[in-house]
Structure 1
Amino acid sequence: MNSKKIKTTTPEARKKIILNFLKDNESVTVQEIVNDCNASEITIRRDLAELEEKGLLIRTHGGAIRNTAAENLFTFNSKMNQNKENKEYICKIASRFIEDNDIIFIDCGSTLSFLSKFISKKESLTVITNSLPIISELINFSNIKLIIIGGEVVNERKAVYGHSAERTIGQYHANKAFIGADGISLAKGLTSYDEKEASITLKMAENADEVFLLCDSTKIEKNSFVTFAPYSILNCVITDNDLDLKYISKYQKNNVSLIHE
């Protein structure tokens, strides 16, 4: 790691340093992180424990190693095949909220990518998206006005990110935004594994009249790495029928509708 010490006071910043290092290296020692972050061993061990709990690394006696299983979670192709039937089910429900002549944002992500098959027959629709699979599916439909968000293409995620993408989104206003997240909880709100992805998602939500979160039931009351928005930005959460029913009343009490059938 870097020989120059970086004064890092927030847990989020320290964890980002740890994960960035493990992207390029198989392992890291506690002492290396201590030196880089100018933090105590106790603090760093606590950070590693929290990251391990989220499945982002594996702790060892003197530090941590890369979790290759977690790496696969970040790639679009790997995520596409996880809970595929539930994702299609979620998108079928979501399509009922899309009306002819709507202007909609569609976020990137494996769940959202299934939405295109249920909306292509709409009489007229404007879709604004950063998702390459959505673009590929809808580009040949003359009834769909397709607005492509420009920016940095990230191959593994099959999506466009960056400041240019955020500026583009800010130029538009939609009736509805259909977004994704890696976790949602009443305690932490919406969370993501990736900061760039989270920034795009938040920008879409901020520029829409109604916001629909599409996520499978395994993400309900789960927290991921980056907290990026309060649950209050949502009009509704659309999930699958494997949902634990105890969550429905809890979310209703907090003015969030959970739809699962």
Structure 2
Amino acid sequence: MKATDRHRAILELVRARDTNVEQLSAALGVSEATVRRDLTMLAKQRHLVRTHGGATALIGVHEPEASLEERKATQRDQKDIIAKAAALHVDEGDTVLLDGGTTCAALALHLCSRQNVHVVTNNLLAVMTLANAPGIRLTLIGGDLRGSSMSTLGPLAELTLSRLSVDKAFMGADGVVAEFGLCEASDQQAYLKECIIRRAAQVFVLADAEKLGRARQQHWTPIEREWTLITSSQADEASLAPFRAVQQITVETV
């Protein structure tokens, strides 16, 4: 692993939770001496705070949220492969929920030819894709429009979700950390995802390799139940290991 990739991975792990040198060494597959050198350098650059035997994140550290156009262009091939694999989990007669985000919008494209599938979504990109699909019954979750993601959220969306249930929920996120859950830019996004998880018989998280272990926003949705991570085979074992170590998580790489 290159030093720059290692530093990025360290920051994502530290931002998810306080951690020590031994844990970082095991997660990254490098020596403890290498981890100590990396932590010293990152502390000098004011990316984290060194503690006795480990490190903790600087309070308030986060990155600006990417625009919709940036997200559409990022990891497009990975997202399409992940979406295609996710579509294989949808059966005739299913009621499925598509979360906001570009990967779930890609999943909508792979559902257009399905028959007798009910799609519930707050994702306007998915709505535009599925609007004229003859075999799809489509329910749009109302609420406040979040233009940066073209999705709805807020009290009306939460109320709608409290009145329905779905067979399968397909979730997106800014980042996903095995021990912590889904990372989001706003508290409303994080809470809406929590509402979705409560109303689904099965939960699938769709995340490209760059989102694994990514903890660059400040709002979190815990997933305290069994769920499936669908990600790209481009994810390395260091990124996948924390997910494989959690009994409640099934990891599917495509």
Task: Tell me the TM-score normalized by structure 2.
Answer: 0.73
Alignment equivalent of 1:112, drawn from 96, 104, 114: 104
Q: Does the alignment pair 1:81 with 2:73?
A: yes
Distance in 2 between residues matched to 1:215 and 1:179, nearest whole Å? 9
Distance in 2 between residues matched to 1:229 and 1:83, nearest whole Å? 23
Distance in 1 between residues matched to 2:114 and 2:152, nearest whole Å? 25
Shift of 1:227: 4.1
Q: Does the alignment pair 1:257 with 2:247?
A: no
Alignment equivalent of 1:141, drawn from 133, 151, 162: 133
Distance in 2 between residues matched to 1:150 and 1:229, nearest whole Å? 21
Partner SS, residue 89 of structure 1: helix
Distance in 1 between residues matched to 2:241 and 2:118, nearest whole Å? 34
In structure 1, the residue matched to 2:157 is 165
Distance in 1 between residues matched to 2:120 and 2:137, nearest whole Å? 9
Aligned length: 200
Partner SS, residue 238 of structure 1: strand
- Please say if residues 191 and 221 of structure 2, whose CA atoms lie closer than 8 Å, have aligned partners that are also in contact: no
- Please say if residues 180 and 201 of structure 1, whose CA atoms lie closer than 8 Å, have aligned partners that are also in contact: no
In structure 1, the residue matched to 2:93 is 101
Pick 1 or 2: higher relative contact order, CA cutoff 8 A, min separation 6.
2
Shift of 1:253: 2.8
Q: Does the alignment pair 1:219 with 2:211?
A: yes
Q: Does the alignment pair 1:232 with 2:224?
A: yes
Greater shift in the superposed pair: 185-194 or 132-141: 185-194
- Please say if residues 106 and 179 of structure 1, whose CA atoms lie closer than 8 Å, have aligned partners that are also in contact: yes
List alignment gaps of at least 5 residues for structure 2: 1-47, 50-55
In structure 2, the residue matched to 1:126 is 118
Q: Does the alignment pair 1:151 with 2:151?
A: no
> Residue deviations 1:112-131, cap 9 Å, x none?
11011111111210000001
Distance in 1 between residues matched to 2:184 and 2:177, nearest whole Å? 12
Shift of 1:223: 1.4
- Please say if residues 188 and 227 of structure 1, whose CA atoms lie closer than 8 Å, have aligned partners that are also in contact: no
Q: Percent identity, aligned pairs only?
A: 22
Alignment equivalent of 2:196, drawn from 201, 204, 210: 204
Amino acid at match of 2:154: G
Distance in 2 between residues matched to 1:237 and 1:166, nearest whole Å? 24
Q: What is the RMSD of the two structures over their aligned residues, measured on CA atoms?
A: 2.1
Task: Tell me the TM-score normalized by structure 1.
Answer: 0.71
In structure 1, the residue matched to 2:182 is 190
Shift of 1:183: 1.5
